[in-house]
Amino acid sequence: MRKTGSKGMELPSLWEKARKLIGPEKGVVHLATAAVLNAVWDLWAKQEGKPLWKLLVDMDPRMLLSCIDFRYITDVLTEEEAYGILQKGQIGKKERERQMLMHGYPAYTTSCAWLGYSDDTLKQLCTEALQDGWTRFKVKVGADLQDDIRRCRLIRNMIGPEKTLMMDANQRWDVPEAIEWMSKLAEFKPLWIEEPTSPDDILGHATISKALVPLGIGVATGEQCHNRVIFKQLLQAKALQFLQIDSCRLGSVNENLSVLLMAKKFEIPVCPHAGGVGLCELVQHLIIFDFISVSASLKNRMCEYVDHLHEHFRYPVTIKKASYMPPKDAGYSTEMKEESVKKHQYPDGEVWKKLLADQNN
């Protein structure tokens, strides 16, 4: 039972207080919610014997909408509007599903051009990626302008003018600095600049977005967005041209569904964040569903791929011809190998024991 104060008023529980202090709908509470609900979706898909993308594609639109919390977003998207989008998405759905099964969803690579890579490493990785059929590349920028100019010129010369180049500043700049910096990098024809400033600065992103339009450079952001409300405001403010959902930052599949539907209403392409560590395994399901049932378009759309730590997962992604091939195993592809879990379990796992021992020496 809940305790009451001296005047008979109910006192909030410790959980409710904690939720308000470290949340609500953001921070550690939201990340924990995502973890639990991602596991629930994994179990649901396994119970149905389908990969998650297929579970969503086959789901009745009303059932799908019952999974979404429309609170705080009805000023831009009502449940009936969302239903209309899903109903329209039924047209040509089977053909788009066959297209995905045959060709997969287009991906881009972030693995070639991290900050700190030597020129030799960068050249080697770009050469290998080109040989593997990659046509979309992302380069990290923001530490040093002259170094960025040199590295971007090197990459652009290697991949040629016809291939797609994106840039990612990982929240490095103030707003005026972002505009000035990108005006110097515009010669390399980037499709977008990702996270040019604080992920919480909606109006700052809008200012940057407006300033870069004449240069033909879009703004991409979203991997650090707390919840659907931030995405709503980014869309309302015309602060981004490319929307980047994250399968573990938002409140699992449920909240991501609401963002996919809002992006469709605003006709903003979704290009998910998937920086390895299992994120690729999860988000592939969401973006494949988006194409088949919501957006029905591949124009200016691609999903990030980083070749990092896939070996720890039972159902790692399959990349063919620089595209995500739809998973066939039932579930959300979240399950890690038992051996990997044991090795990394805190504090008795092999990895942690070594780290703790090294700290004590």
Active site residues: 140, 273
Q: Are 212 and 188 in contact (CB under 8 A)?
A: no
- Whether cis (ω within 30° of 0) applies to the bond prior to 176 is no
DSSP H or E segment with residue 108: strand 105-113
Residue type, 144: D
What are residue 281's phi and psi, to 5 degrees?
Answer: -60, -40
- Which positions ≥6 away from 15 have C-beta within 8 Å? none
User: What is the C-alpha separation between 196 and 234, in angstroms, rounded?
Assistant: 14
Distance CA 263, CA 236 (A): 10
CA distance 338 to 342: 6
Phi, psi of 265 (to 5 degrees): -60, -40
- Strand 319-320, strand 323-324: pairing: antiparallel
Look up residue 186 and give its DSSP letter: G
Q: Which residue type sits at 350? A: E
Q: How far is Cα 256 from Cα 249, in angstroms, rounded to an integer? A: 9
- The torsion defined by the Cα of 46, 49, 52 and 53, in degrees rounded to 10, comes to 180
Contacts for 26 with CB less than 8 Å, ≥ 6 apart: 226, 227
